[in-house]
Structure 1
Amino acid sequence: MTDLKRQLKEDKAIRSAARSILLAQIAQVRHGLSGQRIGEKLADKIGNPALEKLENAGTPAKVIAAAVAGAASVVAVALAWKPLTDLFATTAEEEALETDDDA
């Protein structure tokens, strides 16, 4: 019976230690996210060093960066193509209906 009590005390101690570590990590995450949005933090940590390196880089690196930005734009347009065409198609249909009503 004493072995079980000792094991129970050890298990409770381990559980308490794990809980305190978890609560400390949660507090650290909350503190890290307070005051600034996640996007701003990422932009500060990733964007500024990348811009500094790009400024120090030569022309080929700038051309590559422009190509990457262009490719990202193409991907964004490709992903938004269906909603955009639906939006303009609806607008064209509405205009056609209005023109038919006026005639």
Structure 2
Amino acid sequence: MAGSKQQLREDRAIRDAARALVKADMAHLKQDLSGKSLKDRMFGPVSEGAKDVLERAGEAADNNRGVLAALVGAVVLWFARNPIMELFSDEDEDDGSETESLSEQ
């Protein structure tokens, strides 16, 4: 009987220690949740990271203005390539179509 009472005391001590840990964890969780909204907790680190990336990109652009200008120019030319090529190809097609129509008459 003495052994079971000793075991009961040990089990209660373990239970009380576990309860104290859970209560401490709950208190920390409540403190963490009360300070910030869910939106701030989720998007705060993301927006800070985005700000850092934007600042670094701005610094890189300031340091490499010539490269940036060349890159922008290349992109503009890439998107304007079809209209530019049509300007040159229209002249060639017009010359060929006039010659064919004259030779058929």
User: What TM-score, normalized by structure 2, do the two folds share?
Assistant: 0.48
- The TM-score, its normalising length taken from structure 1, stands at 0.49
Larger Rg: 2
